[in-house]
Amino acid sequence: MIRSIGVFDSGLGGLTVVRQLRLALPNENIIYLGDTARVPYGTKSPRTVERYALICQRFLLQHPLSLVMVACNTASANALPAMAEASPVPVIGAVEPGAMSALAASRSKNIAVLGTLGTIASGAYERAISAADKSAHVVTLACPLFVPLAEEGWGDSDIALAVAKRYLEPLFAEHKKIDTIVLGCTHYPLLRDVIAKVCESSCDHEVAIVDSAAAMARSASRTLGRKPQDKETKSRGTLRCFVTDASRMEELAPRFLGETLDSLELVDL
C-alpha cells in the first residue's frame, strides 16, 4: 500500500510547507487539509484549537498515511500532544523544527519569535528552544496584523513596513542583542522583506530570519528514512488538496504553494 504524507493547516499558509516537501521529497504523495472554514486559529483558545485539530487529523487519517505534518504553528503549539496521542503514525509539528533552525542560525543565542496570539500565548517556542539550549534567551511577540496583510497581498507594501516597524522597533530597542528572528506562522514569510528592512534599520549587526517550512521538510525526510533531494527536481508525487471552505482559493493558494493547484476538494468537518 502506498502511504501519503498528510499535511494539516488551519488554512492555506501550510502550502508553504508542501512546497518545501515537494522539493525535498519529490516522489512522495501528499494529502493536504486546510481548515479554511474555521481559519484563523491564531486568535482562538487552546481548547478550541485542539478540538478542531483533532477533527481535522481524524479526516486525514482516513487515508493511508506515513506521517502527519502540522504546518500551522498555532495548532502545533497547542494541540501537538493530543494529536500525537490520537495518531498511529508519527506527527511532526512546526515548533520543534523552527526552534532548532533558530538555534542553528543564532550566534549570540538571543532569539525573537514572532507568531499569532495563540502561538505566543502557548509558550511552546520558549519551551522547545530552552529544552535544547538552556542558555538561550528567547523573547516572543504576537503580530496579529501580519496574517491579514499577507492575505490582502500587501506583504511588501509601505503599510506592511509601518506595521512591522510598530511591532519590531520596541522589541529591538528593549532587546538589543537579538540576532535571529523566527517567523512562527506560515503566513509570515510573505512579509520577510519588510521584516528584514526593519531589522536592518534597527540593528547594527546582522539578523538571521528563519522559518520552519524547510526545517519541517528535513524532519520529514529523517522520519521517513529518505535522503532529501539536493538539486531541484520536478515533483512526481501527487498532491491532493482538501479544504473545509472554498472561498478565495484560486487567489490565495498559488501565493503560498508557488504552483497552481490541480485539484481542490471541499469537505464538511
The residues that touch a copy of itself, with contacts defined as CB under 8 A, are 36-39, 43-45, 47-48, 51-52, 117-118, 144-145, 147-149, 151-152, 154, 158-159, 162-163, 166, 244-248, 268
Closer to a copy of itself by CB, 47 or 236: give it: 47
Least distance to a copy of itself from the beta carbon of 144, Å? 5
When computed from its CA atoms, the radius of gyration of the chain, rounded to whole angstroms, is 18
Closer to a copy of itself by CB, 26 or 144: give it: 144
185 is catalytic: yes
**What is the distance between the alpha carbons of residues 43 and 146, in angstroms, rounded to a whole number?**
13
Closer to a copy of itself by CB, 174 or 268: give it: 268
Q: Which bin fits 133, alpha (ψ -120 to 50), beta or left (φ > 0)?
A: beta
Q: Give the distance from CA 56 to its chain's centroid.
A: 17
Least distance to a copy of itself from the beta carbon of 189, Å? 19
Catalytic residue among 56, 72, 143, 199: 72
Does the bond joining 90 to the residue before it have cis omega, within 30 degrees of 0?
no
Q: 137: which strand partners?
A: 110
Closer to a copy of itself by CB, 104 or 159: give it: 159
Least distance to a copy of itself from the beta carbon of 167, Å? 10
Least distance to a copy of itself from the beta carbon of 241, Å? 16
Q: Give the distance from CA 31 to its chain's centroid.
A: 17
Closer to a copy of itself by CB, 97 or 118: give it: 118
Q: Which bin fits 258, alpha (ψ -120 to 50), beta or left (φ > 0)?
A: left
Q: What is the DSSP string of 144-164?
A: TTHHHHHHTT-TTSHHHHHHH
Could you count the other beta carbons within 10 Å of the beta carbon of residue 225? Answer: 6
Measure CA of the first residue to CA of the last residue in the chain; give whole Å: 26
**Which residue, chain included where needed, has cell 500532544?**
81
Least distance to a copy of itself from the beta carbon of 51, Å? 8
Residues taking part in catalysis: 72, 185
